[in-house]
Amino acid sequence: MHALRKHIHPGWLIIAPLLVLVVALYLGPILNILWLSVTDPEPGFGNYAKLGESDALLRILWTTVRICIITTMFSVTLGYSIAYAMVHCHQRQKNYMLTLLLVSFWISILVRTFSWLMLLGRKGLVNVTLEDIGLIAEPIAFMRNEFGVLIGMIHYMIPYAVLPLLVSMQALDKRVMDASSNLGATGAQTFWRIYLPLTTPGLVASTLLVFILSLGFYVTPAVLGGGKVLMVAEYISVQLLVTLKWGTAAMLAALMLFGVLAMLWIMSRFMKLSTVFGGAAR
Amino acid sequence: MADLANTGSLQIRDVSKMFGTFRAVDGVTLDIERGEFLTLLGPSGSGKTTLLMMIAGFLDITQGDIALDGASIADVPAEKRNFGMVFQGYALFPHMSVRDNIGYALSVRKRSASEIKARVDEMLDLVQLQEFADRKPTQLSGGQQQRVALARALCFAPPVLLLDEPLGALDKKLRVEVQEQLKDIHRRVGTTFIYVTHDQEEALSMSDRIVIMRDGAIEQVGTPVELYERPATKFAASFLGKSNFITQGDKTYALRPEKIDLRLGQGGSDARVSGTIRSITYFGSMQRIIVDSVQGDEIEVDIDVWRNQEALTEGAKVDLLWQEAAAVELHDT
């Protein structure tokens, strides 16, 4: 026992049961997926080779990436404005806004997705109203296309974008902005030269979070895309449940995993990731 | 660079600041001369920082007016006032190098790169930080950060420099050193300095004039010598230095501990008060002796150690002596 302590910090023994659980229940299945992707239906890289052969697969991947990028851009930009407003308004209003933000977290994604159908569908509130007052003759196709998917996804993602930004804005020393205006900088100069650079870690965290979460979206594209907008998550589920090609599904899942890891790695080349995930800014 | 020869006087006229129903600054009127080193001294909550923030333009004036060289600046926003400011905690830009911090004011004024570089080099010389130009603020010590903040605030040659407890974060030894540097820099640049502090030693050692503030109003204004030698009120006497208070009839006098002499034995004809030594505390250069007078007052006496030929002991009977002029009559009740 004594000899063991020399090499292993006793703290490890305390967290060992949890560690075993995490490895068994989390890492295990992930490894299993990776394993499936190179063994099913037959050993080798046949599943990955499909990427080069199948236009459909590439199209799905491209659709996914495109939608995720647009979603991220809009969510983070809107989230930045909302976080800014929250940090700079009065405490009372801030509490109201924070409550609303949390409430939107608690509402199920299914409910939020279907409510967009009610609002913007062919027989939805907006189209019916516009037709009744004679502004349009035919209903506008808000839904069952990529535009609809984007509306639903951006709406869902904004609260996620706000939180990391809120944290990084609240941590800012207000006197630094005072110093900037005292030195003669206009509001715009203070924003671009001081405020934005100092909130960049929050901006990166928010971008990563939204982008990574968007990659796995399933319900919203399925409902609002009306079957016309196929994203990776939905395609994986089809492979798993309908065509039973588990190897292809595992390959796509592995691809997304590596994609995310690659993004984190590229980010880490440019900045210290610890600042993005709440470490002290240096 | 602006011509500093005839700018930098401030006129503060009956200025008040209300926060809701709380009157943080209460009818302050003050004339600050060009090139003066003026200290606003007071305990926390005395309104000194609020007054400074109104001068800087970060807070609106509820009542009254502030003018620079006779022209009102009450409606001029902070970024247009051209006042330098050294913030409490310095508020340096953490993502910029020392050079970029100092050059910021010129850079937002869209000056040419060569002009900015020349001026920043000049400022780096002034605060002796040439070799630190490319460091980030977090890589500097507290004293060095303080100098960067000073150089940044002086870089655009403001007519007035505001300093909000700039030495608050430094340890005592460093403070004395930085006080000397600040005085020196003030002499060299000739800018009007308005300095906020709650530290009486800082105020005494650096200022041309001191404004003692209490509950949002001015208690007394004067040179350090005037304020120390002739305090007008009990508050002024006890906030700036230590003081004994002696009541004779309906008058109260302030008496500094170091202006009292002490002699063994009681009943001398020239003695003003007699008493018994309660305690003696040794401070190296001097000793502080607390005497219980026969009238029941507690009187503090500071005696140079070298003068103390006779061994004073606790419980000894003593006479206290002082010059007539040493006791200053106070004008409050």
Say if A65 falls within a structural domain. yes
- What mean pLDDT value characterizes chain B? 90
Contact criterion met (CB below 8 Å) for B103 and A184: no
Nearest-CA neighbor of B30 among B18, B48, B43? B48
Q: Are residues B9 and B192 in contact, defined by beta-carbon separation less than 8 angstroms?
A: yes
CA-wise closest residue to B80 among B61, B56, B104:
B56
Is it the case that residue B4 has pLDDT exceeding 60?
Answer: no
**pLDDT range class, residue B1, cuts 50, 70, 90:** very low
How many CB atoms within 10 Å of residue A6?
A: 7
pLDDT tens-digit series, residues A23-39: 889 889 899 988 988 88
**Ramachandran sector of residue A281 (left: φ over 0; alpha: ψ -120 to 50; beta: rest):** beta
Nearest to B105 among A184, A194, A198 (CB): A184
Q: How much is the pLDDT for B7? A: 84
- Domains: count for chain A: 2
Q: What are phi and psi of A20, to 5 degrees?
A: -60, -45
**CB atoms B56 and A185 under 8 Å:** no
The amino acid at residue B46 is S
- Nearest-Cα residue of chain B relative to residue A184: B79
pLDDT of residue A271: 67
Predicted local distance difference test score (pLDDT) of residue B2: 44
- Provide the residue count of chain B: 333
Residue-level pLDDT at B93: 96
Q: Collect all residues with Cβ–Cβ distance below 8 Å to B296 and sequence separation of at least 6.
A: none
Per-residue model confidence (pLDDT) at position A1: 54
Whether residue B120 is predicted with pLDDT greater than 60 in this model: the reply is yes
Q: What's the pLDDT at B331?
A: 85
Q: Are the beta carbons of B104 and A183 separated by less than 8 Å?
A: yes
Give Cβ neighbours of residue B280 (< 8 Å, ≥ 6 apart).
B287, B288, B289, B290, B312, B313, B314
Which of B59, B79, B138, B163 is the best mutation test for A, with the most CBs of A within 10 A?
Answer: B79
- Kind of pairing, strands B261-264 and B251-255? unpaired
Averaged over A185-202, what is the pLDDT? 94
Q: Is the pLDDT of residue B139 over 90?
A: yes
> What digits encode the pLDDT tens for the residues A163-181?
999 999 998 998 999 999 9
- Shared domain for A102 and A185, answered yes or no, is yes
If residue B313 lies in a helix (H) or strand (E), which one and from where to where? none
High-pLDDT (> 70) share of chain A, %: 94
CA nearest to B80 within chain A: A184
Domain limits at A5? 1-39
State residue B272's pLDDT score. 87
Is residue B108 pLDDT above 80, yes or no? yes
Least confident of A200-214, B150-164, B294-308: B294-308
pLDDT digits (tens, 9 = 90+) for B150-208: 999 999 999 999 999 998 878 888 888 889 889 999 999 989 999 999 999 899 999 99
pLDDT at B135 over 90: yes
The predicted structure's pLDDT at residue A282? 39
Whole-number pLDDT of residue B168: 81
Q: Is the pLDDT of residue A280 over 50?
A: no
Q: Alpha-carbon distance A131 to A162, whole Å?
A: 36
Quickly tell me which residue has 């592995």 as its tokens.
A254
Nearest CA in chain B to A190: B108
Give me the pLDDT at residue A185, please: 94
**How far is it, in rounded angstroms, from Cα B213 to Cα B219?**
5
Pairing status of strand B244-248 against strand B251-255:
antiparallel
Span A86-115, average pLDDT: 90
Q: What is the pLDDT of residue B291?
A: 92
Average pLDDT, chain A: 88
* Strand pairing report for B10-19 and B63-68: antiparallel
**Ranked by mean pLDDT, which of A116-130, A212-226, B33-47, B274-288 comes out on top?**
B33-47
Residue with the larger pLDDT of the pair A226 and B290: B290
Q: What is the mean pLDDT of residues B267-282?
A: 86
Place of tokens 């026992």: A1
Residues B126/A213, Cβ–Cβ less than 8 Å: no
Residue A136 placed within a domain: yes
Does any domain span residue A282?
Answer: no
A11 and A72 in a common domain: no
Q: What angle do CA B192, B193, B196 make, to 5 degrees?
A: 150
Examine the pLDDT at B3 and tell me if it is beyond 70.
no
Based on the domain organization, do A96 and A13 belong to the same domain? no
Rounded CA-CA distance B59/B19 in Å is 11
pLDDT at A2: 64
- Show which of residues 143-202 on chain B sit within 8 Å of chain A, judged by CB atoms: 152-153, 156
Domain assignment of residue A281, yes or no: no
State residue B257's pLDDT score.
Answer: 93
pLDDT tens digits along B218-227: 999 999 999 9
Position B112 confidence tier, pLDDT thresholds 50, 70, 90: very high
| pLDDT average, residue stretch B35-59 | 94
Per residue in B240-257, pLDDT tens?
888 999 888 888 899 999
Is the domain of A71 the same as that of A94? yes
pLDDT band at A3 (very low <50, low <70, confident <90, very high): low
Phi, psi of B208 (to 5 degrees): -75, -45
Would an 8 Å CB–CB cutoff place B109 in contact with chain A? Answer: yes
pLDDT computed for residue A281 by the predictor: 43
One-letter amino acid of A140? I
Domain containing A182 — which CATH number? 1.10.3720.10
Query: Do residues A6 and A74 share a domain?
Result: no
Classify residue A72 as exposed, middle or buried by CB count within 10 Å of its CB (0-12, 13-18, 19+). buried
Alpha carbon distance A232, A225 (integer Å): 13
Numbered residues of chain A with Cβ closer than 8 Å to any chain B Cβ = 173, 175-176, 178-186, 189, 193-194, 197-198, 281-282
Alpha helix stretches (DSSP H) within chain A: 2-7, 10-22, 28-39, 46-53, 55-88, 91-106, 109-120, 125-132, 146-170, 174-182, 187-190, 196-215, 219-224, 232-241, 246-270, 273-276
Question: What's the distance, CA B238 to chain centroid?
Answer: 15
**Structural domains in chain B, sorted by start:** 10-234 (3.40.50.300), 257-329 (2.40.50.100)
Q: Is the pLDDT of residue B306 over 80?
A: no
Q: Which residue of B lies nearest to A195 if distances are taken between CA atoms? A: B93
One domain, residues A179 and A145: yes
Measure CA A199 to chain center. Answer: 19
Distance of CA B99 to the CA centre of its chain: 29
Q: Vertex B6, ends B5 and B10: CA angle to 5°?
A: 125
Is the domain of A21 the same as that of A78?
no
Side chain identity at A189, as an amino acid letter?
Q
DSSP structure class, residue A280: P
Q: Is residue A225 part of a domain?
A: yes
Q: Rounded to an integer, what distance in angstroms lies between the CA atom of residue B40 and that of residue B56?
A: 14
Same domain as A223, residue A121: yes
Task: Determine whether the interchain pair B85/A182 forms a contact, defined as Cβ–Cβ distance below 8 Å.
Answer: yes
Chain-chain contact of A173 with B91 (C-beta, under 8 angstroms): yes
| Side chain identity, residue B3 | D
Same structural domain for residues A34 and A136?
no
Residue-level pLDDT at B173: 84
Same domain, A71 and A194: yes
Q: Does residue B13 surpass a pLDDT of 60?
A: yes
Contact between chains at B93 and A183 (C-beta distance less than 8 A): no
Position B310 pLDDT exceeds 50: yes
Cα B281 to the chain's mean position, in Å? Answer: 28
Gap between the terminal Cα atoms of chain A: 42
CB contacts, 8 Å: B105 with chain A: 183-184
Residue A247 lies in a domain: yes
Report yes or no on A201 lying in a domain: yes
- Tell whether A54 and A168 lie within a shared domain: yes
Residues A20 and A75 in one domain: no
Provide the 8-state DSSP code for B284: S
Q: What is the pLDDT of residue B269?
A: 79
The answer to whether position A175 is within a domain reads yes
Q: What is the mean pLDDT of residues B28-52?
A: 94
Q: Best of A183, A195, A272 to disrupt the B interface by mutation (most B CBs within 10 Å)?
A: A183
Q: pLDDT band at residue B9, thresholds of 50, 70 and 90?
A: very high
Q: Tell me: pLDDT of A5 over 70.
A: no
Residues found in chain A: 282
Among the listed residues B104, B134, B140, the one whose alpha carbon sits nearest the alpha carbon of residue B119: B104
Residue A105 confidence (pLDDT):
84
What's the confidence (pLDDT) of residue A279?
52
Residue B129: other Cβ atoms inside 10 A = 21
